[in-house]
Structure 1
Amino acid sequence: MAHAAAPTADGAEAPPKKGGGKKLILLALPLLLGGVGAGLWFSGMLPFGKSAEHTAEHAAAIGGHGGAQAPAAGQPAKPPVFLDLPEVLTNLNVTGRRATFIRLKAKLELASESDAAAIQAAMPRLLDLFQTYLREMRPEELRGSQGTYRLREELRNRASLAASPARIQDVLFVEMIVQ
C-alpha cells in the first residue's frame, strides 16, 4: 500500500514517512526469540526446567550406578552387590495363533549386602510380579534400546515394590531372548 505524500504548509509535498520496517522488526523479533527459546527448551539444551531434570535423571541412570551418589572424598567406594535372579521363561501377549516367548536372565544390583536376605525372602512375590508384567507385554514393545530401557525401569520398580525396605538400584540383563 503506497502512502500519498502529505502536503506541507507552504504547498510543497513532504517525503512519505518511513517507519514500516522498524515496526516489522519490532513485531518479528519477539516471535523469532520465542521460537528459538521454545526450540531450546524442548531439545533440553537450557540448563533449567523439566527437560533438564529428566536429562539429569536419565544420565544418572545410564551412568551405571542407577542414580547412586558417588562416595564422599576420602571414603572408599563400596563394591556393588549383585544377586542372581532365576531364569524367567514366559509367553508374551500376541494376537495370532503362534506363541511368542521371552527368556530372561537378570541380576539385581543392590544398595548393600544386607538387602540380599530381604530380597531372597521376597523372591516368590518378585518373580510373580515379573511374570505378570512380562505376560502382558507385546513383542514390539521390546524392540530397540528404548524398549529394553523401559523394561529395565518397570522391572526395577516392581522389584523395589516386592522387596520393600530393601533398596534395588538396578536390574541388569544377562540374557534376553524373544522367540
Structure 2
Amino acid sequence: MAAVDTEVADEEDEAAEEPARRRLAGKVLVLYVALPLLVLIGAGVGLYMSGILGGSTEEEPEVEVVADPVFYDLPDFLVNLSGPPPAHYLKMRVSLQVVDAEAVKRLEIEMPRVLDGFQTFLRDLRPEDLEGSQGMLSLKEELMRRMTLATQQPLVTDILFREIIVQ
C-alpha cells in the first residue's frame, strides 16, 4: 500500500505542477510574444500613417503665395449731378485695387484718360441713380467698365468707395 500511496502522491504533485506551468506559460506567452508583437504592429501602423513607411506617393499640394493687394487712391471727385433744380452735388473718394505694383506705374500714365471718363460719367448721373445698394453696384460696374476702356487692359481688379456724399 505504501507503493500505491507514493504513486498517488506523485500524481498529485504532478497535477499541482501542471496548472502552475500552464499559468506561467500563458504569462510568458503574453509578455514575450503577444505584447512585443502588438508594439511592433502599432509602430508599423504609426509609421505608415505618418508617411515615413509606404504611405501615399502623392506629393503635398503646393501652396500658392497670394501677394498682398496693392491699392491706389484717386483724387477726390466733386461734381454737380444732372437733374432739375435745386442742384445736387456728389463728393466721392475712391480707391482702386490694382493687379500689382507695376500696374500702378501704367495707371499713373493713363490717369488723365481715367479721370476724364469718370468725370463725364459722374456728371450725367441723377440723384436717384445713386439710391440704395443697387445704385452703388451699378455705379461701381460702370466705373470699372470705364476704367478698362481708359487703360485698354485690365489693370484694376476692384473699385472701393471710401466716401460718397450726395447733397
Tell me the SS of whatever aligns to 2:101: coil
Name the TM-score, length of structure 1 as normaliser: 0.57
| Aligned residue type for 1:157 | R
* Runs (4+) off by over 3 Å: none
Larger Rg: 2
Match of 2:101 in 1: 113
Structure 2 residues without counterparts, runs of 5 or longer: 1-60
Task: Measure how far apart 1:73 and its partner are.
Answer: 4.6
Name the TM-score, length of structure 2 as normaliser: 0.61
Task: Choose between structure 1 and 2: higher helix proportion.
Answer: 2
Task: Measure how far apart 1:113 and its partner are.
Answer: 1.2
Tell me the SS of whatever aligns to 2:119: helix
Task: Measure how far apart 1:166 and its partner are.
Answer: 4.6
- Number of matched pairs: 107
**Identity within the alignment, %:** 40
Structure 1 residues without counterparts, runs of 5 or longer: 1-71
Tell me the SS of whatever aligns to 1:172: strand
Q: Does 1:130 align with 2:118?
A: yes
Task: Measure how far apart 1:165 and its partner are.
Answer: 2.7
Between 1 and 2, higher relative CO (CA 8 Å, sep ≥ 6) is seen in: 2
Correspondence list, 1:1-179, <5 A: 73-96=62-85, 98-179=86-167
C-alpha spacing 1:76/1:137, structure 2 compared with 1 (3 Å): same
C-alpha spacing 1:164/1:73, structure 2 compared with 1 (3 Å): farther
Q: CA RMSD in A?
A: 1.3
Task: Measure how far apart 1:75 and its partner are.
Answer: 1.3
